[in-house]
Amino acid sequence: MDEFVNTEKDVEFLLKDGIVKNMLGDYNEVCTLINNLGKGIAVYRESFYFAILSERLNSYCRKPWNKWKANLRQHYFNTPWATISFIAAVLLLILTCIQAVCSIISVMPSKDQKY
């Protein structure tokens, strides 16, 4: 379990999915408990039960694109309002560009006009 739990957020995911139950009260205490369970125990990383899953998870997390997506979700799109405001800002930017292009087209002289 120590391979999968490093922060309080990890404990929150485990609790939300019903994998563990919190009888200690605080996420930090659960995180500390799980991280201290394996102290002094030698584990061969290649032969433990979740070795393949752990390696796949680590390789997924090492990819820059996945790090970038996780950073965006955690820091910028962590609430529905942040996502809605981003979509509104992008839509406003697109509409502004369309308006600028239409204005430029309407000002340009056509081929039929003479100076």
pLDDT in tens, 29-40: 888 888 888 777
What is the CB neighbour count within 10 angstroms for residue 69?
A: 12
Closest to 19 in 3D by CA, of 7, 32, 30, 29: 30
Residue 71 forms part of a structural domain:
no
Q: How many residues does the chain have?
A: 115
pLDDT at 46: 67
Residue 45 forms part of a structural domain:
yes
Residue 12 forms part of a structural domain:
yes
The token pair at 32 is 């500390």
Q: Which of 12-21, 38-47, 52-61, 88-97 has the lowest mean pLDDT?
A: 38-47
pLDDT at 45: 65
pTM as predicted: 0.47
pLDDT at residue 115 is higher than 60: no
Range of the domain at 9: 1-62
Count of structural domains within the chain: 1
Residue 101 and residue 97: Cα distance in Å, rounded?
6
The answer to whether 15 touches 21, Cβ cutoff 8 Å, is: yes
